[in-house]
Chains A and B, each alone.
Chain A
């Protein structure tokens, strides 16, 4: 096909020269360029179609981008902390139901890993690493919640799809700053979406809200435990 296009290109040039003569050489060159571009366009379409492999997800492993490892994300989340430790917290059935009712959504996870940053023995915040499905594949992210149960930072750690990766940018993620469990955390309410990444934004919204609900339930459980 490529040979045909080039042959066609040469033929066109020859015909154009005959038709337009030297006076119209410039105009003829413009027409030839247009045809060449069209030819290349057709070639690109044909090659791309042949290369297309229908799949459950159109994206392969080449789209998996690790932006932050767990250690890097925790270091960014707790820059001032002298100690960061994690606790695997398993809520009771009643606490689990409370989280679900708060979210209005079924929560499959039984145990949550909660990271705590301490500075001179004082709590600087909690963080959760979560995963939510974007279009086909999960987005891994970290949500840091301050002692007042407000979001302090959100970082995308791993993004696995070709489209929608804009949600990793702080320009978008900074919108979550200061959000509490009482906020809608919803596109077109208090979160400005990203064009072409609606499902990724929904996933991030859900992940942040879920982290806040878990932190709230965890805080209540800790208070109850301390009271006893």
Chain B
């Protein structure tokens, strides 16, 4: 059990390291998760990846990261408003929805009424109509707003954010399902696993030594 637990921990540590540093895995560039062309200027493009939001002003030949205070991550969609190309929405799977009203220079958060990553809700695609009408697809159902994102309402038979199966699993995983302080039990369980692995190795070594000396 000790050896198996140690092996699992080592695999988790190594795979976690590579997930945090994807550049070490090779590949010319991050895969594009979302792409949008400015409807008024085809040379201006925005590209969303796992690690950020990038812009090109030369039709996609060169890209630079869009500087922003809260940098974008896991961009799932980029949408220019059809009646105002200066208004552009960027959807991030875990971190929420942001909007720029000046073509992508200054950004701000659009309040959804919940924190996606905390509720275990993933944000997906977005569509924008004229007059600030937007519809956002999430793992908990669709949300629509008629005023550019100030007020949101569920569309159709949407599951209330935070009430779907993935949310339940997420809350079980983090411990919040059982109460705000339950993560301590989870941490204790993790520590117990590590102790189990270490003590298992120590016992195995002792027995091996005893056999050798016997």
Contact = CB atoms under 8 A, between A and B. Distances in A.
B183 A136 contact: no
A206 interface: yes
A102 B185 CA distance: 44
Interface of B: 20-21, 66-71, 105-108, 115, 117-118, 176-183, 185
Interface stretch (A10-18, A23-31, A47-55, A75-83): A47-55
B101 to A, nearest CB: 9
A202 B70 contact: yes
A139 to B, nearest CB: 14
B68 A49 contact: no
Majority DSSP secondary structure for residues of B touching A: loop
Contacts of A106: 106-108
Lowest 6 A-B CB distances belong to which pairs? A105-B69, A106-B108, A104-B68, A48-B178, A58-B180, A104-B67
Given A48-B179, A101-B106, A209 B118 contact: no
Contacts of B178: 45, 48-49, 52
Interface string A29-64: 000000000000000110011011000001110010
Interface in A143-178: 162-163
Interface residues of A, number: 27
A194 to B, nearest CB: 13
A44 B185 contact: yes
B106 A104 contact: yes
Q: Considering residues A104, A202, A209, A210, which has the most beta carbons from chain B within 10 angstroms of its beta carbon?
A: A104
A188 interface: yes
Given A58-B180, A202-B70, A101 B107 contact: no
